[in-house]
Amino acid sequence: MKPYEFRTANGHILLLGTVNPLRIQAVRDAAERELRQRHLYFDPPTYKVETAVEGETVEYTHVVDKAAGVNTLLDDDPAKQAANEKAWSAYIAGLGRLNTLQGQYLTELVFAEGVDVSRNPDYPDGDWVRVDARLHMSPPAEEPGRKLHYIQYQCLSGTDELALLITTLTSMATTGKVDEDRIASAMSTFRDQQERRADGAAEGEAGRLDGQPAAGSVPDSPDLAPDA
């Protein structure tokens, strides 16, 4: 596949290539394993319902869907409801940690293997190296850290463009081409999520029972599920 020219708002040109989708899934799985090894979980809480058969129960996953008017956390017993909401808050916090770590690992992978900056005249050394050093954010000397620093802090204009770049790279990996419609749809969903998070933070929603985890230091990349 011919490299795709990604032109940034800052005037840089990044040549994008395909990344093995199996490696993308591998880093996502690695993030899950790391959190579980640290005993930081992200599994949704469950509840049990008795069946018509004496002594038999069925386990279900809790669901909170405000749009559909469904909230299985609600319970006539205040003690149970409080426990349910505590468990749901822990689950949402766990999802936030998972999304942040997966976003970090995914960014590192696709930038390291899918972005070519070798033709950029100011890479690997340029005025930006000395400017960043004076601002106490010296770029790493080794790769791929130096390239990641250069792309994020010199080439890109902000989180929207960062998300667009990651989305383009993951789209190329899963479809073998730059699917403009798919990318636009994913970016629209991403921006909606960011707006809901901002609204939730402004309202001070305790526990974030709307199902939206708090934003991490690395913006979540728009999700592009592989084609069936």
Per-residue pLDDT tens for 21-30? 999 999 999 9
Bridge pairing between strands 46-50 and 13-16: unpaired
Percent above pLDDT 70 for the chain: 81
* Residue 174: pLDDT over 90: no
Is 130 contained in some domain?
yes
Is 156 contained in some domain?
yes
- Which of 8, 3, 1 has its CA nearest to residue 158? 8
Q: Which domain covers residue 109, as residue numbers? A: 4-39+92-208
In this structure, which long-range contacts are made by residues 95-98, counting pairs with CB atoms below 8 Å and at least 24 apart in sequence? 95/42, 95/213, 96/213, 96/214, 96/215, 96/216, 97/35, 97/40, 97/42, 97/216, 98/31, 98/32, 98/35, 98/42
Is 181 contained in some domain?
yes
For 142, counting Cβ atoms within 10 Å of its Cβ (0-12 exposed, 13-18 middle, 19+ buried), the class is: exposed
Q: What is the pLDDT of residue 186?
A: 65
Q: What is the pLDDT of residue 163?
A: 86
Is 54 contained in some domain?
no
User: Rounded to an integer, what distance in angstroms lies between the CA atom of residue 128 and that of residue 122?
Assistant: 8
Is 142 contained in some domain?
yes
* Residue 217: pLDDT over 60: no
Is 52 contained in some domain?
no
Q: What is the pLDDT of residue 227?
A: 47
Is 169 contained in some domain?
yes
User: Rounded to an integer, what distance in angstroms lies between the CA atom of residue 39 and that of residue 98?
Assistant: 12
Give the count of domains, the chain: 1
**Matching residue, tokens 């008017």:** 69
